[in-house]
Amino acid sequence: MNPTFLEFIGANQRSSCGYCKNDRGERTPARSAKKNAETGEEDLTNGLEEELEVSSESSVTTGGAWAHSMTVNDYSGLLDVGWRRSGRYLYKPDNRVTCCPQYTIRLDVTKFKMSRSQKRAMRQMNEFLATGKRPVCGIKEEDAPVEMNLKGSGSQSEQSKKNLKSHEVSTKKMKDADRPVLTKKEIRNKKFEEKCRQKNLDPDVVRTERRQKDAARQRTIQSYIDEARPDWKHKLEVKLVSLGGDEFGTRDNESFELYKNYQHTIHKDEDCRLAGFRRFLCDSPLKKEQRGGIELGSFHLWFLLDDKLIAVCVVDILPKCFSAKYMYYNPEYSFLSLGTYTALREIEQTQRLHAIYSNLKYYYMGYYIHSCPKMRYKAKFRPSDLLCDQSFRWVDFNSCRDLLDGSTCSNGFSEFCPGAPRPASPVVDTLLVFSNGSITTLSDALTEIPEAAENEQFLANVRDLAHLVGPDLSRVVYYFNELNS
């Protein structure tokens, strides 16, 4: 098997942010110094996507590398230290200084339970397929903006307003000192406990029995899929297609036209080119591999309505996870809440793969951005975890949300495991590098090329990259221009 081969690109800086600064934003991902490292455009609205964007007020540095080839194990390791890919370009935002910190988010599909709105999305799709009628109302797929607690900001008048509001709330909650006004939930609980006492039943035992019955009645994604009937007005087929395979090529033009329509309608982009589309969404450094009865690598998940492509999800299937990268769709079918629906079908695909290969049980949703309404919907797929940007430990979302809400950093950044040690970086001298036609250690390469050994900026770049990549990718082969004359 070919090893992972990464070419060092270096830092990238942007001067605008599509998340918080511009109405439309700069949709082009960071570009490397190499012309062939241009990666096309990213999405911000629906699906699961990632963009490399920074504010004009920040000097944002991101790690960058061009992947000539990569094993699924190595890319999985990079995901777990905060990296993502756009085509063959790999990057990791510097969350301490970017205006919109981006945290990797994942879901354990063995514990997933649908919310009411997610069930509604499945139900509305089935109703449309059965009758052809559009739903009366769709699903809300983004939240209201979040106000960050900025250190040193705020005025006395603002604080007074908060105190007044707090006083108003407490006044509503308490009619007087002796007679509190109960919430509806408290009233229901009080009535329930009273009924249990009248029947000589333990309220806790009754609650436990109810929870068990509710769990037995819990709807699954598959249960909605199984409702499909041959006599329905429309037929929806969801097909996982390997990137670059024979079947993949049969809808190449149709997929591009769908993408172009999406970009034009949703993002007002008039300059979509086939070459950029293929480079961004159809090119992957991941090498296909069979493991545990499933195929690992890069795929497109097609959504075919009456044999017509209406949505495409770009995904990677890795040893431990199903990683969602991007989604585009036909805007004429926005009424079907395709952002939510396609994510649910991706979760179902992950559950199906888990049944075959038990190690694969996580659904990675790209980056979560707490201050961005268009990204916060990802946390509605519960229970989800966020990756601590310093310790690289996974922390449940509810705990992270409290820390993010209370952040005192100017950009809202928070460490989810304060005080936890960061994994050690690999020993730089033992890194494998490609130097003048052969693979060797960095130490040996520097012995052969003394001018590189005296280049302080080059050595700093090597240390930075090793720090960002971490110790789990110690067998990766790196390419640096300074070692190849």
- What is the per-residue pLDDT across 342-358, written as a single tens digit (0 to 9) for each? 999 999 999 999 999 99
Q: Where in the chain is the domain with CATH 3.40.630?
A: 111-144+222-363
Query: Under a CB-based contact definition with an 8 Å cutoff, are residues 79 and 104 in contact?
Result: yes
For residues 105-109, give the mean pLDDT: 98
Q: Is 27's pLDDT higher than 90?
A: no
Compare 163 and 307 and report the one with higher pLDDT.
Answer: 307
Q: What is the pLDDT of residues 64-103, one digit of tens each?
A: 899 999 999 999 999 999 999 999 999 999 899 888 899 9
Q: Is 479's pLDDT higher than 50?
A: yes
The lowest-confidence range among 36-45, 131-140, 353-362, 454-463 is: 36-45
Compare 174 and 333 and report the one with higher pLDDT.
Answer: 333
Which token pair is 160? 């007074």
C-alpha angle 274-276-277 in degrees, rounded to nearest 5 = 60
With a pLDDT cut of 90, the percent of the chain lying above it is 64
Compute the mean pLDDT over every residue in the chain, rounded to the nearest whole number: 84
Q: Which of 49-63, 176-190, 376-390 has the highest mean pLDDT?
A: 376-390
Q: What is the pLDDT of residues 393-443, one digit of tens each?
A: 999 999 999 999 999 999 999 999 998 998 888 899 999 999 999 999 999
For residues 138-149, give the mean pLDDT: 56
Helices and strands (H, E) in the chain, number of each type: 15, 16
Q: What's residue 37's pLDDT?
A: 33
| CATH number among 1.10.20, 1.10.10, 3.40.50, 3.40.630, domain 111-144+222-363 | 3.40.630
Q: What's residue 141's pLDDT?
A: 63
Q: Is 473's pLDDT higher than 70?
A: yes
Q: Which of 50-59, 289-298, 462-471 has the highest mean pLDDT?
A: 289-298
Which token pair is 88? 């063959």
b/e sequence 58-86, b meaning 16+ C-beta within 10 Å: bebbbbbbbbebbbbbbbbbbbbbbbbbb
The residue behind tokens 């000589």 is 200
SS3 content of the chain, % helix, strand, coil (to 5): 40, 20, 45
Q: What's residue 138's pLDDT?
A: 65
Q: What is the pLDDT of residues 191-226, one digit of tens each?
A: 999 999 999 999 999 998 888 777 667 899 999 999
Report CA 382 to chain centroid distance, whole Å: 14
What pTM was estimated for this model as a whole? 0.80
For residues 294-312, give the mean pLDDT: 98
